[in-house]
Amino acid sequence: MIRLQIVERPGSRLFSVLKKAIRSKDLRTFSLEKGGKRVVHIRSPGYMNWVEVDGLIACEIRTPRDEGKEWQLLTAVVGRLADRFPAAVESINIQLIAPPPEPVKKRRRRR
C-alpha cells in the first residue's frame, strides 16, 4: 500500500477540478467509482481511495490482486498531475507502507 498526500495551492480547488475532469472524460485514462471516492486507471492494476481535507487530498493506493504493483498507478497519477495540473499542485508527499515481516519458522531438532 502507498499513501499519497497532494497539497493544493490556495484557492485552486484541485479536488473538484480533478473530479470534474474525470467525469467529463477530459482525463480519459481515469474513471471514478463508488460515488467519486475511488479512482481507477484503465491499464494500471488496483485503485486509489481519496478524500479531501482542508486543501489536502489524502490518497491510498492498493492493488489487492497484484501485490507490489502499486507503483504503476502511482506513476500514472503523479505523471498526470505534473503534466496537466502543475499550477494547482503545491507539493506531493509519498509514504511507502512496508508489509509486515514474515514470521521466523522454528527449526525442529533432530533426535
**Distance (Å, rounded) from C-alpha 57 to C-alpha 67?**
24
pLDDT attached to residue 108: 82
Task: Name the architecture of domain 2-96.
Answer: 2-Layer Sandwich (3.30)
Residue 102 CA, chain-centre distance (Å), reads 26
pTM of the model: 0.81
- In angstroms, the Cα distances linking 63 to 7, 55, 102 are 24, 26, 20
Q: 60 with 70: CB under 8 angstroms?
A: no
**Distance (Å, rounded) from C-alpha 8 to C-alpha 19?**
14
pLDDT attached to residue 99: 74
Cell numbers linked to 93: 508527499
**Distance (Å, rounded) from C-alpha 12 to C-alpha 32?**
21
Across the chain, which has 111 residues, the per-10-residue mean pLDDT values are 94 93 92 93 92 93 87 93 94 88 83 76
Every domain of the chain and the residues it spans: 2-96
pLDDT attached to residue 5: 95
